[in-house]
Amino acid sequence: MTAQIRTATLATLTLAIVLVNANQGNAGEAPSWGGPPGKPPGWPPGGPHRKPNIIIFNADDMGWGDFCCYGHPTQEWGPVDDMAYEGMRFTNFYSASSLCSPSRAALMTGRLPIRIGVWGDGRVFWANSVEGLPWYEVTIAEGLKEVGYVTGFVGKWHLGINAHSPTDGEYLPHHHGFDYVGTNLPLSNAWECDEEHPYSHYKMSEAFVNDATGFMRDAQQQGKPFFLYYGTAQTHVDMYSNEGFRGSSKRGRYGDNVREMAWTVGAIMDEVKRMGEDFNTLAIFTSDNGPLIKVCNEGGDAGILKGGKMNFWEGGVRVPGIFRWPGHIKAGITTDVVASQMDIFPTLMTIVNGSVPDDRIIDGQDISSTLFKWLPEPQPEPTSKLLNQTHPGNEPRMLVWYCPDTTDPITVRYGSHKFHFVTQTVWTKEANFNEPGRCGDGGFPLQQNTQCSWCSLDQPEECVTQHDPPLMFNLDPDPNEAYPLDVSLPHHKAVLDEMMPKLQAFQASLIIPPPLMTPRDDAVGPCCDGSFPDCGCNYQYLGPVPPPGDVSQSSSSCAYLTSYCLFFISLTGMVLP
């Protein structure tokens, strides 16, 4: 289906700011933390069951501690917090990587990035990458199409663009099961892009919402359930905000950015309600990885967790996980069950009576029994047949992370314990402050910092440390990973000895494809005028990033030369086969 540009003007939305304390209850039990005034949504009226609409909101670089409902003391209450109050909030929810492309590939397929080749020295897909998410991998969209869904995509993709030319679009969403593709950000929002040619940051959120709501209405008119995947542009740098949100948060520019992103979520959910589909829509909110704490106060917050984007401490991979489905997932539940974004695919297939591929290992697991635990009536047993029963019965859940540019495991979570075979130097916001010229007034970034961002062992020893035996932490009393356990003590060694054979068996299950994120060719890079890569900036260098409020110059700085002028591409301008 050809992408449609919907130009309807969005109605002005006044956001009520409601501040609450988030005191979490016992694991898996209804919490004591409050929400906005009023009661949670009630149970739906009786009627025949039909497949639910499904929406996945995937934020960009948003930290575990960035929302009021996850404990941030000054971020205003908003629509994402409403989702948590009206649904289930996971406190141990994980992405499969600490960087965009591998994390998104895992969410889409339910499989570890390394299994599908989404690894390599590029660490993510770039504008001139000649590979992308392989066509032979089955995505959530393709699985849902098999059971009658109409599928739509808006927002950030970052799973590949072209293979042979600047315009072939080989790896864009149309080729991965999406019937409709609206406004598309193929890679990432970038600081140096010209605001006037070819697009404006300040209209992007409106475009996303217009396209998303238009797609949902079209699906309803077709009489089909819909699947919408919305990859938000926020909170990846640059911290742009529409005029209506600029200066609206006491938290500053980053808070403005969070509020605008949350508004898009609320606008889409409000449309669901206007369509009369609220009780028949499962909405999921998460983030691709942790916050980019290396850009001073322009990055997010991991709360009490250590680290952030680009590393594998908890702050890099533990992310928000919110599931809302009125009448099906009981409101106001907080759970500390360990879960992964890779679980979304098999869980959805159980809910819609679909099936995951049976010719490959699926690393995600069905968590429907957790989601529906609090329903008043017993639920049917899961029907999905998965090949990776890594924790049958009551055995601890095991999650394994790999450095994006190597094939050896870097970190393992096993039950409540975390094992680090390799650690990266933890960069903190205080470290930013202590390095002259890094941050300006109030924590405004003056230069980009990628120090100690890689994790392979060929990095400088001050950045990467190997551990044998691995560093071991108990995350229940020590989620900050501040106090390693003495693995020579019998009770700690017993856990390590229990985990290692399982990890070795897991490693034996891996058949690792070639690294798809390594090969690049400038001939496939899209650009404003076809002169890639020379069009990295289509204006003159004007010095450091300007301070907040200097909007006139915000699009004319090349201080952040990390991407290219056409990171944002509307598919109406692409030639698709």
Active site residues: 100, 158
The answer to whether 302 and 291 are in contact (CB under 8 A) is yes
Dist. CA 309–CA 288, nearest whole Å: 9
The answer to whether 110 and 344 are in contact (CB under 8 A) is yes
Task: Give the largest Cα separation in the chain, rounded.
Answer: 66
Q: Give the relative orientation of helices 204-222 and 253-274 as an angle to the nearest 10 degrees.
A: 20
The answer to whether 83 and 285 are in contact (CB under 8 A) is yes
3-state class of 9 per DSSP?
coil
Dist. CA 172–CA 182, nearest whole Å: 12
Q: How is the beta sheet containing 321-324 ordered, strand by strand?
A: 180-185, 150-156, 226-231, 53-59, 281-287, 321-324, 88-90, 333-335
Kindly give, in sequence order, each residue whose CB lies less than 8 Å from that of residue 558, ignoring residues fewer than 6 positions away. 192, 536, 537, 539, 541, 542
Token reading at 232 = 């938000």
Nearest alpha-carbon partner for 399 in 93, 59, 139 = 93
Going from the C-alpha of 344 to that of each of 54, 141, 566, the distances in angstroms are 11, 12, 31
Nearest alpha-carbon partner for 486 in 499, 501, 473, 503 = 473
